[in-house]
Every structure is written in C-alpha cells, then in structure tokens.
Structure 1
Amino acid sequence: MLEQPHFGRRLKRLRLARGLSQAGLVGRGMSTGYLSRLESGERPPTERAVAYLAQRLGVDPSALTGPSDGRSLPGILAAVASAPPGADDTPALRRAVEEDAGEDPAARWQALWLLSGAAGREGDHELERRTLTELVDLSDRLDAAELRARSRVRLARCSRALGDVRAAEEAAVGALSVARTARLGVADTLSALTVLIGVETALGELEAAGRHVAELERELLPRAAPALAAEALWAAAVVSDRQGDAATARTRLERALSLLDGGDDVALWARLRLAAAAAALQTSPPRVADAEHRLGEAAAVLRLVGTPAQLQEMRALQAHLAFHQGRLEDARALSRALLTEEDLRLSYRDRVRLSVLDGRLKILADRADEGIAALRRLGRQAAESANVDLAAHVWQSLATTLADVRPRDLAAGARERPGSEHRRDSCL
C-alpha cells in the first residue's frame, strides 16, 4: 500500500485529470470530508476505500496503491529526453506527474507539455484538453510569456479538434495577445496567428481571417522556418478556398508542399499531403487524380509511422476519394467501418465530414429519408456549435446530393410510363 502523503497526492491528481470535483468522485458511497482527509494525507486509506475510489475513477486499484519508482519528476524528464528512438516513456511520465508534489513548477510544465503532445498525437483530445487546461494555468503562475503563448496555441488547436470553436477562439486570441505584448519572436507570433486564422475560418469570419493572412504573408512568412511557414500557408490556402479563389488556394498549398521534404518533419510532411488531398476533393469540380496522388504519397509514410489517429484520418480520406471516383460500395464500406469503430479518434470536423458522406451514400442508396434526416441533424449541430464553415459544407452537400438524385428519379419515372422504350434496369 502506498503510504501517505503520496497516496493522497496520487488520488488528487487522478481525480483532477478526470475533471471531477470531490463530490463528483465520492458519489453516495463516501463523504467529501473523508475524501478531503485522504487527499491531504491526514487519514491512511483502507482497502475498502481504495477499491471504491478505483471503481469510481475507472482504474485498477494498483493505479492508486502501486509503488513509486523513486525517481523525481526532473529525473523522469531526463530519462525521456535521452531515450532512444521508439521508446515510450509516457506511462512513467504520467505516473510521475500524478505523484509530483509541485516543488518544481518548470519541470511540471515540461512534463505536461510532453503529455499533452502525446495525447494529441493519439487523438485523445479530451485527455489532451484536461492536460492543457492545467498547463495554461501553470503557465500563468510561472508568468513566462513564451510558455503562456505556446500553451494557449496548443489549447486552441485541441479545442478546435473537439469542435469547441468558441473556446478555441478565446485561446487563440489570448496567445496572439501575449505574443504581441511581450514582443515574442517570429515562431511564437506566427504559430498564434496561424491557429487564429484557422479558428476564424471555422467560425465563418473570412474577412478577419483574410486580414490576418495578409499580415502573416507581409510580416512573418519571409522570416519563418520552413515547417512553420508550411503550416501558415496551409491555413491561408483554406481561407482563399472559402473566399472562392481556388487558384490562390492551390498556389499557396503547392508552396507549402514545396517547403518540406520527407526528411524535415515526417508527420507534417504527411499531414500536408492529406490536406492537399482533401483540398483537391473539395474544389469544384473535384481534382480526383491530384487527390489520389497526394493521398498515395501520405499513405506510403503513414502505413509505416502513422499513429492510430493519423491512420483513421487517412482511411476517412480514402472513403471520400472512393465516393468521388464513383466507387460507392467501397466508399460505403470504408465510411461505415470507421464510424462504427469503438475507438474513433478523428477530430470533430473529420467525424462530421465522414458522417456527411455516410448520409449522402444513404440518399443515393434509396434511403433518402434516413440520409436527409441525418444531414439536417448534422447541419443544425454544426451551426449550434458555431462551426459555420462546417455547417455550410453540410447544407451544400445535402443540396448537391438531392440535385443529383431528383433528375435521375424523374428520368426513371418517365421510362416507366406506358410506351417507354426502356426498362427501368437499363439506366442502372
């Protein structure tokens, strides 16, 4: 049994990591006063209390009582920094953070930064947000401008991935304000401005996004490192596309792709190619061959080094590509397999787009009422969550699909009238 006060510290960390108050954790089986004394180290835990709390937290009792490895948080961080490629020290780092007494806030900040990055790469955005919320608070207590800006940039990205664009906007505006007030360098200012442009695009605030793109291209891009410049151009390309300027969007995206080769940042290299594939499919008319080429480039890398979240994103794009190639059965199989997966790690935006595809396929498979209802529900949900750009995509997809189906149905009806020269199955 882990002795006090270490048990109490670990218990409190686990509770806070799940966003639970003391009352929310104890339920009806324990008093908040008793829990408070456990967390403060005033009372030793009983086996019954451990079993109950572990059940409420959704962990094995050993997560509460298992022995510490005796290493300090700075020691764990040193081990992580010096670990060979491929080593996964995330569990040890998470345990160290849970047991940390908070004596070295800078070390704790670094640990939380690493843990939030690991959660984001794995597509666990809820865990990422909980970690980042503490990270932002700790950044403010440390009063270090660079840390305050960087933690808010990451929180903005995470909030947007969860579909909470208002929270993303608040974090992005805060990051840019810190960067400008403290006169931080190009990298921090460009990162904050890039994430704000993405949020403004999601909110449908294209005029504001366009002004920020002009500032970005005029003042920051010429001095930016290739990886940061590529991400900024990617965000700028989306703005151009939403403004109806497909030529500029394509030029910006091609510039972004040209800035990196596979040896710079493999993950970003692959992400940019997935973005290029998605952009090619969203143009009118879709550039299907271009999308297939870019998706093939990304797939060759992601099959070797991709995280589960990245592999799911790739499969979602493969479903969209199959749809635009007319392979509806393949698109249907790919989309349904993903949407019914137990551990779906796609971002909110990608989940909605995949659900839209599923609804369109239902309409085209003579399940129009079911498909239309699903798309209407998605459109309302996106609008209510302030994802204006995404809502526009949903309604446009519904209108496009209905416009495609109705002429076909009318033609089929005409062929079924007396005297028709063709049988119904001649048009299939």
Structure 2
Amino acid sequence: MTDEAVGKRIRELRQEQGLSQAELVKPGLLSAGYLSLIESGRRRPSPDVLRYLAERLGTTPGHLATGRQPDLWQETERRLSFAELALEHATAEAALSEFEEISRSGPPPYHPRAELGRARALELLGRTEQAFAVYEALWKAAEPGTALWAERATDLLRCSRDLGDYGYAADLGERAMATFEDLGVEWSDSSVRLGVTLAGVYIHRGDLVRAARLLRRLIEISDSTGSPLARGSAYWNAAVTAHYQGRGADAKAFADRALALFGETDHQRNLAVLRTFYGELLLDGEPADPGQAREFLLDAHERLTQLASPAEISECETYLARAAVRLGDLDEALRWAQAARSRLTADAAPTAEAEAAIALGMVHLAADDARQAAAALAEGERVLERATPGRAVVSLWNRLADLHEERGDTTAALRAYRQAMTAAGYRRPSHPLTRV
C-alpha cells in the first residue's frame, strides 16, 4: 500500500459521487486540509479516518487501503453496472428487477445506488408516485446543501411536476434554493439544475413571469460557471417560457442554443426530448414548417424509443400526428395518433392521456369522421376533468374548444372554453348580470 494509491482511490470515488472535499469534512476527525494531504499522497489516513471515508464513499476500509474488494462486492458492482446499462437502453423492467434484488440482499454500501436505479426505472415505466417515494427517502438521507442533496431534490421536483402537484413542487424547490442561500454554498451544476427544474414548475403552473425572472438569473450564472448540461437546461426552459409568452423568435433562438449545448453532452434522452420540443416550435411557428418539424420529430422518436418513458414517446407521437395532418397524410397521422394513445400505461398523467385522445380526435376530424372525432374528444374531456389545473391543462382545454368549434358543436366549444378559464384561475361570478 502506498499513500499515493490510497489518496488516488479516495479522490476518484469522491469525484465519481459528485462530492467536494468540504462535503467530507467531519469536525474533530477530518479537516479539508487533512483530506487534501491524503488525496495528494502526502499523508496516510488513520484507521478511524479510513473507516469514516469508506462509510461515506460506499466502500470498505480494505478497498481504500488495497484496491481489492470482496468477491461479493465485485459481483454486485458488475450486476449494478449491467442494470444501469439496461436502463440506458430502454429495458427498464429488467433493470428494475435487478435493482430491487440488490436493494434487498446486496451489500449495504450498494443500497443507495441500487435505490437510485430503482427510482429511475420506476419513473421510466410511468410509475411516478412510486419513484417519488424512493427519491424522497434518498433526499432525506443526503446532507442538506450538498450536490447529492440538490440532485435528489431535483428528482423530487420533476416527479411532483409530472404528478401535477405544482404547489408542493414549488414550495420544495423554493425551500431547497433558500437552503443553498442560507448555507452560503457556491453555485454548481447541481444547484443550477435544481433552479432550472423549479423554473419548469413555474412554467407548468402558468407563472411565466416568475419563471422568466429566475431563468435570466440562472443563464447568467451558468454561462460563467456551468457545464453544457446546466447551461443547456437553462436555455431550454427559457425557450419554453418564451414560447408560451408568444415570443416565437426568442423561443427559437434559446432552443437553438440549448440544442448546441446538449450536443456537447452524453445526455441523449434529454436531447431527444428537446428535439421533440423543437418540433413543436416548428409546428406552432409563424409561419409553421410541418415538413421540418416532421424531420426533427422522427429523429427524436427514434432516440426516445430507446431511452425515454411512455409519456415522452407518446407526446412526440402526438406532434407527429399533427405534422402529418398539416402535410395532408391522414393515414400516417392516424397511425401516430393511435400509437400515442395505446402506448400510455394506467399510471399515465391525465394530461398525457388527454393529449393523446385530443390528437386522435383531431385526426378523425380531418378525415371527416364526425362520430369517431366526437368520441375521442369526449374522452379527452373526461380525462382533463380530473387533471390538476395548470398551463398544460389550460392549453389542452383551449385545443379541445377549437376542435369542437371546428366540427360545429358550439355548446361543447363553450363548455371547453369555460373549463380553460377555470383552469387558468378565473371564477365566474355567482350572480351574473342579466338583461332585464
């Protein structure tokens, strides 16, 4: 054993887990200066320090000292690596089984990593409530203000947002950001991504002014200190905000910047979802470009089917259906709309179900099939009635109203417009004025 080899192993494990030296400090046992000397090979850790570092880094003192792990640990490492690889290639069910088995019977130091894999697999499978519970346990176990704590808080915000619980998500995000401020922690990729996710919650609940203000600050911070992932995330959400504010040129400029930044990373799933959003921009632009939108969406769909959740794939397919209608290919539009509807699981969010049903109704309406169009749109209404109010729900009610109006059902159109106003926070007076 050499002091340099021990220090190198400690440094590599710390960096793999996104921990700073300051995050491993323990008063009375390990200072930042002592850890720096250990990692540089100039000091040998005492047995107590070695045991403490092994516990914090999820390994054994023997591994830190010699580089050798017990046979069972080596096998567990191999199984976890294969499960994580399976998760990246859209075989979430198989990965979930492996993560669950390791959580039950694997060596304790591997349990947090297995639980994180389990949460991600559950989220990919559309079982968002279960994923939320696992992320929450991991978040509570992390030390407040650390990079790991920020990452798990980000996971919680994302799940809460997808479940439609915008109030809880916003409160959690604001408290987490306040924790960083109170602790005086410097901005990092993890805290920037947490802020970006909070901005996304504001966008979903329709608070675009607050989202835009937070994103301006995050873009300024991430441009000077952030990685391509953090910067790309900030520009992406700025594009979404601009899109919903009707600033099409700004939205496209921000999205172009986000695409370039994500192209520098290995986050292929995020890149695919971003390309889906870019396809939406092209569909809704002035003028619209359904041909180019279709190219972006087909590329995104190919990536998503290997990496993403059913809801993300379904959303892409609804946009492909819209593009096909604009291009006059109703057979293709019907195939995409039916695929989007059939892909969703029983745990899917109401907004995802409603979007798929409305897309199918749009295609039937374009094909002059009034009966099928009415049935699909009625299904969309039933689903939206149980959705949590927010920007996405307002948008879907407005789309429903437009389609009802197009098919000549003014009563249904008025009902949908009123639902959109209610979802946006407007309340009709209890005693409306009447003409005498």
Give me the TM-score of the superposition, normalised by structure 1.
0.66
Partner of 2:137: 134
Q: Contact between 1:179 and 1:192, CA under 8 Å: does it hold in 2?
A: no
Partner of 2:340: 338
In 2: Cα distance, 1:150 partner to 1:169 partner: 16
1:98 lines up with 2:101 in the alignment: no
1:275 lines up with 2:246 in the alignment: no
Q: CA deviation at 1:169?
A: 2.2
Q: Deviations over 1:147-176 (max 9, x none)?
A: 332211101112222333233323322332
Q: CA deviation at 1:132?
A: 1.4
1:186 lines up with 2:191 in the alignment: no
Identify which of 319, 322, 336 aligns with 2:321: 319
Matches within 5 A, 1:180-259: 180-182=181-183, 183-259=185-261
In 2: Cα distance, 1:203 partner to 1:90 partner: 32
Partner of 2:170: 169
Matches within 5 A, 1:403-414: 403-406=405-408
Partner of 1:110: 113
Gaps of 5+ in 1: 1-69, 408-428
Gaps of 5+ in 2: 1-69, 87-93, 410-436
**The 10-residue stretch of structure 1 (348-357 or 266-275) with the greater mean CA deviation from structure 2:** 348-357
SS of the equivalent of 2:132 reads helix
The structure-2 alpha-carbon separation of the partners of 1:307 and 1:204, relative to structure 1 and needing over 3 Å to count, comes to: closer
In 2: Cα distance, 1:109 partner to 1:172 partner: 22
1:152 lines up with 2:153 in the alignment: yes
The structure-2 alpha-carbon separation of the partners of 1:291 and 1:347, relative to structure 1 and needing over 3 Å to count, comes to: farther
In 1: Cα distance, 2:71 partner to 2:134 partner: 21
In 2: Cα distance, 1:144 partner to 1:96 partner: 28
In 2: Cα distance, 1:71 partner to 1:348 partner: 47
Q: CA deviation at 1:232?
A: 1.7
Q: Contact between 2:195 and 2:218, CA under 8 Å: does it hold in 1?
A: yes
Letter in 1 for 2:220: R
In 2: Cα distance, 1:258 partner to 1:78 partner: 34
Q: Contact between 2:199 and 2:237, CA under 8 Å: does it hold in 1?
A: yes
The structure-2 alpha-carbon separation of the partners of 1:143 and 1:171, relative to structure 1 and needing over 3 Å to count, comes to: closer
In 2: Cα distance, 1:403 partner to 1:71 partner: 68
Letter in 1 for 2:270: L
Q: Contact between 2:160 and 2:166, CA under 8 Å: does it hold in 1?
A: yes
Q: Deviations over 1:39-63 (max 9, x none)?
A: xxxxxxxxxxxxxxxxxxxxxxxxx
Q: Contact between 1:117 and 1:128, CA under 8 Å: does it hold in 2?
A: yes
1:381 lines up with 2:382 in the alignment: no
Q: Contact between 1:338 and 1:344, CA under 8 Å: does it hold in 2?
A: no
In 1: Cα distance, 2:261 partner to 2:344 partner: 37
Identify which of 391, 394, 418 aligns with 2:393: 391
Letter in 2 for 1:366: A
The structure-2 alpha-carbon separation of the partners of 1:212 and 1:405, relative to structure 1 and needing over 3 Å to count, comes to: same
Letter in 2 for 1:123: G
Q: Deviations over 1:183-234 (max 9, x none)?
A: 1432122111111111101101111111112211222333221122112211
The structure-2 alpha-carbon separation of the partners of 1:307 and 1:197, relative to structure 1 and needing over 3 Å to count, comes to: closer
Percent of aligned positions that are identical:
20
Q: Deviations over 1:90-133 (max 9, x none)?
A: 433311213479x65xx433332222223333433233123113
Matches within 5 A, 1:258-269: 258-261=260-263, 264-269=266-271
Partner of 2:352: 350
RMSD: 3.3
Q: Contact between 2:200 and 2:237, CA under 8 Å: does it hold in 1?
A: yes
Q: Contact between 2:317 and 2:336, CA under 8 Å: does it hold in 1?
A: yes
In 2: Cα distance, 1:379 partner to 1:89 partner: 33
In 2: Cα distance, 1:372 partner to 1:301 partner: 29
In 1: Cα distance, 2:370 partner to 2:224 partner: 53
In 1: Cα distance, 2:361 partner to 2:170 partner: 30
**The 10-residue stretch of structure 1 (154-163 or 168-177) with the greater mean CA deviation from structure 2:** 168-177
**The 10-residue stretch of structure 1 (312-321 or 202-211) with the greater mean CA deviation from structure 2:** 312-321
The structure-2 alpha-carbon separation of the partners of 1:76 and 1:314, relative to structure 1 and needing over 3 Å to count, comes to: farther
Matches within 5 A, 1:14-53: none
SS of the equivalent of 1:163 reads coil
Q: Contact between 1:336 and 1:358, CA under 8 Å: does it hold in 2?
A: yes
Letter in 2 for 1:153: T
Letter in 2 for 1:138: A
Q: Contact between 1:246 and 1:283, CA under 8 Å: does it hold in 2?
A: yes
Q: Contact between 1:378 and 1:394, CA under 8 Å: does it hold in 2?
A: no
Q: Contact between 1:221 and 1:229, CA under 8 Å: does it hold in 2?
A: yes
The structure-2 alpha-carbon separation of the partners of 1:400 and 1:260, relative to structure 1 and needing over 3 Å to count, comes to: same
Letter in 2 for 1:114: G
Identify which of 348, 364, 370 aligns with 1:366: 370
**The 10-residue stretch of structure 1 (187-196 or 327-336) with the greater mean CA deviation from structure 2:** 327-336
Identify which of 380, 399, 402 aligns with 1:400: 402
Q: Contact between 1:90 and 1:118, CA under 8 Å: does it hold in 2?
A: yes
1:293 lines up with 2:295 in the alignment: yes
In 2: Cα distance, 1:138 partner to 1:348 partner: 31
Q: CA deviation at 1:389?
A: 0.8
In 1: Cα distance, 2:230 partner to 2:265 partner: 15
